[in-house]
Amino acid sequence: MSIIIITLNIFSIFIFASSLEKFQNKQTDQQLDQKAVKRFRIISLFLMIISFILCYVYWQKPGWIIGINLTSINSLIITVFISYFPQRFKEWNEKFHAIFIKSA
């Protein structure tokens, strides 16, 4: 369960980051329109809420605090990852956008 929660949390932060204008791939025609950005943020929020609910269910009373703390740590991990491996992030971001745009 811990792994599922951490994965969901990281994934939600990743999607939130990829919805930010500065990380959208401006070199290709995959740049997101406002609707797509909104959808990305909703998915990100949805995943974040699920991870928080799971935290609360799995760790009971301090679950929501664990959720907040976990989000802090995961955000730092994502920040370091994006800053030091921008190419890898760009690749993943492009793939993710492509999947999302195709499915939409």
Residues that bind other proteins (CB under 8 A): 2, 17, 20, 22-23, 59-63, 65-66, 68-70, 72-73, 75-76, 78-80, 82-84, 86
Q: How far is the CB of 102 from other proteins (least distance, A)?
A: 25
The Cα 21–Cα 18 span in angstroms is: 8
The Cα 31–Cα 36 span in angstroms is: 9
Q: How far is the CB of 78 from other proteins (least distance, A)?
A: 6
Helix, strand, or coil (residue 26): coil
83 or 103, CB closer to other proteins? Answer: 83
Q: How far is the CB of 38 from other proteins (least distance, A)?
A: 18
Closest CA to 48 of 19, 20, 9: 9
31 or 102, CB closer to other proteins? Answer: 31
Closest CA to 52 of 68, 41, 40, 28: 68
